[in-house]
Amino acid sequence: RKVWMGMNETHQALKASVIIPMYNAASDIPNLLEALAAQTVIPEEVILVDDGSTDGSVDTAEEWRGNHPEYPIRILKQENRGPAKARNYGADESIGEILIFTDSDCLPDPGWVEGMVAPFNDPSVVGVQGVYQSRQTEAMARFAQLEIEDRYRRMRKNPTIDFIGTYSAAYRKSVFMEQGKFDDRFPIASGEDADLSYRLASKGLKMVFQPEAVVYHRHPNSLGKYLSQKFWRAYWRNLLYRRHSSRIFKDSYTPQALKFETLLAILFPVSFLGLTLPFPWSYLPLAFVIGILILSLPFTLWVIGKDPVVGVISPFVILFRSFAFALGTGRGLLKGLWVNEDYL
């Protein structure tokens, strides 16, 4: 049964605004809005913030709104300033006590809004992380989904978390505003969500994982697209770790094995010095590669149990992923992201 949030006794004191940045998302917006209209609990409002689209995204959204006048949708516009700025603009204009964020290429499950709001019945909770799922059949997309599900396994074990990704995120508005919102100096979707999470965690504020709040998402479906995504994430992680250096070593989201795999890949060029030395040092490059594969073994064995085909390719993908992370990190260092005052 569909319930308007203001009519729902359970969540009557927890009115929510759903905020979605959109940039050239005309092909995605109708499906997203249909999914939001099918929620078991309808939010107080859905705010679309157009980030300077050139593909008619606003016209598409306005057409949908015109065909569904009963649905509480608002459309805001800004020049192209990035998703962090767009989300903050939506938050500034919102009326809800709970701010829920997702992306324009996501499709929320019918119980998503209700699931995202429920943890806030605990007054100590200030942030909630929902989950990705995928309906894709390509092997690389299945790998990407299992990769994130492995992270969810870790998050389920913790009563609190220190990372919330904006694909399925919710915050208590009062805390979101008090703590400075998203830092819109992050130029693209490049770590602004982790930055806010780390700031909240450093203040001892409680964030929780909500596996019942699901959005469906399209992962990269080829190795090239996947590695490109990892390269740029590592590139911009330089900014994030510049501000939160302690998180290099541990957080609730990133597996420790992944960090050591990346470290071995970063140091891999140094291993070639071993070629100038007698045995066994001449095998140092091979030892680094074997080290990455050994670190990946627990994840690979888990994947084999879930999806044997993906399990077969997993060691090779992880090896390439490690070097993509290493190259992205190296490029960020060379660009001066740790020291250049133009960045943060």
Delimit the domains of the chain by residue range: 3-221, 245-334
Q: For residues 225 and 320, what is the distance between their CA atoms, to the nearest angstrom?
A: 12
Matching residue, tokens 């470290």: 263
Q: For residues 126 and 14, what is the distance between their CA atoms, to the nearest angstrom?
A: 12
**Omega into 280 within 30° of 0, i.e. cis?**
yes
Q: For residues 321 and 28, what is the distance between their CA atoms, to the nearest angstrom?
A: 28
Q: For residues 340 and 50, what is the distance between their CA atoms, to the nearest angstrom?
A: 30
Phi, psi of 152 (to 5 degrees): -60, -35
Where does 68-164 have alpha helices with state H? 83-93, 112-117, 139-156
pLDDT tens for each residue of the chain, 344 residues long: 355 454 444 444 479 999 999 999 999 999 999 999 999 999 999 999 999 999 999 999 999 999 999 999 999 999 999 999 999 999 999 999 999 999 999 999 999 999 999 999 999 999 999 999 999 999 999 999 999 999 999 999 999 999 999 999 999 999 999 999 999 887 777 789 999 999 999 999 999 999 999 999 999 999 999 999 999 999 988 888 888 888 888 888 888 999 999 999 999 998 888 777 777 778 888 999 999 999 999 999 999 999 999 999 999 999 999 999 999 999 988 877 665 656 55
Tokens of 335: 């660009």
What architecture (CATH level 2) is domain 3-221?
Alpha-Beta Complex (3.90)
Distance of CA 58 to the CA centre of its chain: 24
